[in-house]
Amino acid sequence: MAELPPNLNFAATEEEICARWAKEGTFKTQDLLSQERGDEIFTFYDGPPFATGLPHYGHILAGTIKDTVTRYACMSGKSVERRAGWDCHGLPVEYEIDQKLNITHRDQVLEMGIDKYNETCRSIVTRYTKEWEETVTRLGRWIDFENDYKTMDPTFMESVWWVFGQLYEKGLVYQGYKVMPYSTACTTPLSNFEAGLNYKDVRDPAVVVSFPVVGETDVSFVAWTTTPWTLPSNLALCVHPEMEYVKIFDKKSDKKYYLAKSRLSQLFPVINSKKWKPAMAADLYEIQETLVGKDLVGKRYEPIFGFFADTPEAKNYFRVLSDTYVTDDAGTGIVHQAPAFGEDDYRVCLANGVISKGDEIPCPVDASGLFTDPVEPVKGIHVKEADGKLIQLIKESGRLVQKDNLDHSYPFCWRSDTPLIYKAVPSWFVKVEEIRDKIVANNKLTYWVPSTVGEGRFHAWLKDARDWAVSRNRFWGTPLPIWASEDMTEIVCISSIDQLEELSGVRVDDLHRETVDQITIPSKNNPGTVLKRVDEVFDCWFESGSMPYAQQHYPFENKETFEKGFPADFIAEGLDQTRGWFYTLMVLSTALFDKPAFKNLICNGLVLASDGKKMSKRLKNYPDPKLVINQYGADALRMYLINSPVVRAEPLKFQESGVLGVVKEVFLPWYNAFRFFLQNVERHEARGCKFVPSIEKVRATTNATDIWISAATQGLIKFVHEEMAAYRLYTVMPALVTFVTQLTNWYVRLNRDRLKGMEGEGGKAEDEAETGLQVLYDVLLDVTILMGPFTPFVTEYFYQHLRKLQPSYEDAMGGGGAKNPVMPGKSDSVHFLKLPSYDDTRLNSEAVEAMEALQSVVEQARIIREKRNISLRTPIKSVVAIFRDPSDTVINGITGPLKKYILSEVNAWDFHVVPTNMAHEWITLSLTPDFSILGRKLGKKMKAVQAHISKMTHEDAVDCLKNGELVIDDVTIDATSELIAKYSFSREGDHWEATSTPHGSLVVAVDTTQDEAILSAGKARELMNHIQQLRKSAGLDLSDVVEVFFEEGADVNSAETAVAMNLPLFQAKFKRGAIPVPKRLAPPETVVLRSDTVDVGGSNVVVSICRPSLSVSSDLDVLAVNYMSTLDPENVNGSITFSIDGKTYDLQEGKDYWKSAFAKAVATEALDWLN
């Protein structure tokens, strides 16, 4: 065990563990052991990612959360299928192929052939699966890539058909003509939730255009729009029926306009300026008529363009309508209507007979967003690029009233990153609105972390959910299983391959368009004719929403398995999936089974670049995940991500320094404690004491710190189980981090000498060491297993060393380590084990409370040292603590068994706690109102109450807290919850320095007097520290005995005085070596192991650590002296007899020789201060 390196390379170690896991099939073995035991099923759904790109921090974060929860479930006695899945269809793939093949129009795909196009798509969908597998595996995530599912698998696609078929049978499917978000780059409509995925701030032209009123000379309606490209398709104008409108005369343009009275500022912006005065209106306009919106309904106007003025349907066009969706927060209060490009426009025009359901709508824009006939002036130009030309035409016609720019948030295609438009397209819909109440009700059956997302954002989205357009006019996807007659009067919805064969006579083994498009079904209604498949494919979100069923090929296979495990116990993805995967899962599960698809969900926030911006490959504003993992290790990255706000759906600004911080602040201290433990077990066993873990010895300990750390460990185990049951990773990780700090910075440090066998004498010291090692082993093993799901690599590393100390380790031989029953030692991996259950008998809140008090005292004393600039090596005379309402347990603890630790930690000579009845001699108790509570409660009375409280004496405050309430006139205040109590130090004397905890319940005072004894003790500590550093630099072990000598300049005795005045301190510290003595007492033959010039109290001192040698009497001759210099003091005792050149010497210890220079100095009284 001594071969453990001082600094572990965590990343390299993880790679070795990864290799061993792969070689030994550790992940598979964990699953097999679980199945063999018949563990309870825990169902987990993994949302399928696209493998057309490499994993980023968002994937790593979600993967870490999923892995942590599923590992925890496995180690809690659950059987968890963790199956990888891949989203293979849809826009991400097609867009990339379109870019690659320079395809800009769907006709190009048809010319190329759908079969060739789809084959090209198929060729890239798994392009990065190997890279994904490498990254995910290196991250420590256990998920089955061999038994993965793909949305392009025929089995998966058949289940998607079944899902749709069920919806069709329930009457939840219809074909409609609807204005939808539309991607011109991808030539397909998007769902509303897709449209919400990628908003950007943009600048668009904003124009006000006039519409001359038919029958009224020189009078026009004026409408404002930020989409001038929709004006060629204008069919109507809309006003609010109850809004107040005016007809004005614009004195500058000499024209008359109708607009909302509240929107006059649109034409006259000065109205919104600070210099505006109502009297100025007379110079700008004159109101000629006031009326409400419904009075304008029916008025006709001249179209701005005449492209659709001569059609038969034009008799219904170009008139004023009304609807309450019109607002006066912008524009003119009159909205132009282009039903082909606006959802409200379509609805209002349909309701008012401008257009008819099923009829063609004027839509002069093709699938790629290019203008077509009859808009000849901009034909072939993309709509967003045509604004300028159209505005110029409007200006030339005299109809442009105002032109400006508007900065606003606008939806972009989430895949192509191009602006979306709204466009009327035929589509197949799922009737979400019809089952919306059920969806909302099912969501209430689910548990979300954080709850604010499920109850807020997601709930709000569900209660306003609209019918879902599930079809896409694309090629690479699961085809809609609808076969229909040309006039759509006869429709068949296919639910399986068998059904398709039954109706068509054709058996297929693939369901993509190139296979099924040519299949026809004989018509039952019109014999001799056939039904053909409709053109569309499914939206890929429909496929991912179907994954609970399709990954199992339900209901065609695994029916019982699926139904036992549905709904899923757990899912997790990012906040963006509230309108994506979470939504589609909930819609389909409700439509199919009237159940939620999942029971528990963790929703993570977004990982941003360090500057708060979105991570961008182009900007290179974030470190490569692979480089971070290779530098710091996957465990450090995992812990950094989980121990951050991102786990409770808040954004995280990724800082590489944060990952490094985990290594430095958690892993290195944890490793050092682990290494320190193993070193001392080895030291203990080197003395002939076999270390065998014993829980009985742990329970039997009476050491206060042992009892505390055991109680803290059991408390941690209890807390982790409670919080993980509630899926609150964001509370678990801080607790784990805090515990590691408690273990390394407090328990190990307080017991360092004890664990080294340096506390007590002889066998007692070793007994104490073993007890401490037993406790530390128990803690390390429990925490190692407990943290297995969170940091799988470092815990595996620790376990592989800790298991060797278990008697059952021998049972691992011959494959036993991969068999049930699992147990520490025998089992080959920490991940085979069951998480520890807390031991209620070892929970000890009193011990924990006492230790918290100790730490508070120590931390406050250190603050005082810093304030007075007193080195920790310089002792302080006295530390005094004043607690508010301390428990007897705390007082007995810190003045009893814990007192020595306080004295040691703060390097103090004395410590005591002031009794409560004496506190007034040291501190003053003051009360202040808790304004956050009392401000609302008292209102205007607050000022008088505050004045009363501020005048209260120390005695008044004590009585108030004792009584539990404060009564002021007719106001009763709860002293516990509505007042804040705080101690302040009030004892006189400049030698006192005091500080208090932030909450004011503890005051610590230090006597900072610096006399000769104090300063001398400080120098002694400095010299001790230098000696320890020399031992360390010489590479000595704890058991190595050395002699120490020091040498000072002429007439300087700083170091010697320090040793002389603090001899008991050195005797206690250097039991296994000699007390430092002046260099003049060293034997001439002494071998120096390490020497250095150091500073002790401002003086230069040469300190040397030397190999032990015998010190002999000055009466011996040279031959005897030379012979004695060859002997090892460890092997010499009592009388020594030897002969040289025929002369026999018989030397006696204590007369002719001594085992050390220190022993000789004591015996010969060579140093006054040793007498």
Active-site residue list: 48, 87, 541, 577, 581, 614, 617
Q: Both tokens of residue 52? A: 């057309």
- Sign of the dihedral through C-alpha 262, 268, 273, 275: negative
Q: What's the distance, CA 460 to chain centroid?
A: 25
Tokens of 768: 């104490």
* Residue 926, SS3 per DSSP: strand
Return left, alpha or beta for 487; rule: phi > 0 is left, psi -120 to 50 is alpha, else beta.
alpha
Residue with tokens 């250097």: 1070
Query: Which burial class, exposed, middle or buried, applies to 130 when counting CB atoms under 10 A from its CB (0-12, 13-18, 19+)?
Result: exposed
What SS3 string covers 769-833? HHHHHHHHHHHHHHHHHHCCCCCHHHHHHHHHHHHHHCHHHHHHHHHHHHCCCCCCCCCCCHHHC
Residue environment code for 583-601, b if the CB has 16+ CB neighbours within 10 A, otherwise e: bbbbbbbbbbeeebbbbbb
- The Cα 690–Cα 663 span in angstroms is 33
Yes or no: say if 1025 and 1031 are a contact pair by the CB < 8 Å rule. Answer: no
The residue type of 369 is: G
Burial per residue of 433-452, b for 16 or more beta-carbon CB atoms within 10 angstroms, e otherwise: eebbeebbebbeebebbbee
List, in sequence order, every beta strand (DSSP E) within 261-327: 285-292, 319-322
Contact 729, 602 (CB under 8 A): yes
Per-residue three-class SS string for 350-414: HHCCCCCCCCCCCCCECCCCEECCCCHHHCCCEHHHCHHHHHHHHHHCCCEEEEEEEEEEEEECC
- Length of the chain, in residues: 1171
Helix axes 729-742, 762-786, angle to 10 degrees: 160
CA atoms 932, 936, 938, 944: torsion sign: positive
3-state secondary structure of 865: helix
Q: Are 776 and 755 in contact (CB under 8 A)?
A: yes
Rg (CA), the chain: 41
d(CA 776, CA 781): 8
Per DSSP, what are the bridge partners of residue 1088? 1106
Q: If 0-12 CB within 10 Å is exposed, 13-18 middle and 19+ buried, where does residue 5 land?
A: exposed
The residue with tokens 């104008």 is: 237
Cβ atoms 466, 434 nearer than 8 A:
no
- Strand bridging mode 911-913 / 83-86: unpaired
- Pair of tokens at residue 711: 């109680």
- Tokens at 222, concatenated: 């004026």
Helix axes 10-24, 634-642, angle to 10 degrees: 100
Candidates 1021, 1038, 1039; CA nearest to 1095 is: 1021
What backbone torsions phi and psi does residue 1050 show, to the nearest 5 degrees?
A: -60, 140
Residue 43 φ/ψ, nearest 5 degrees: -90, 130
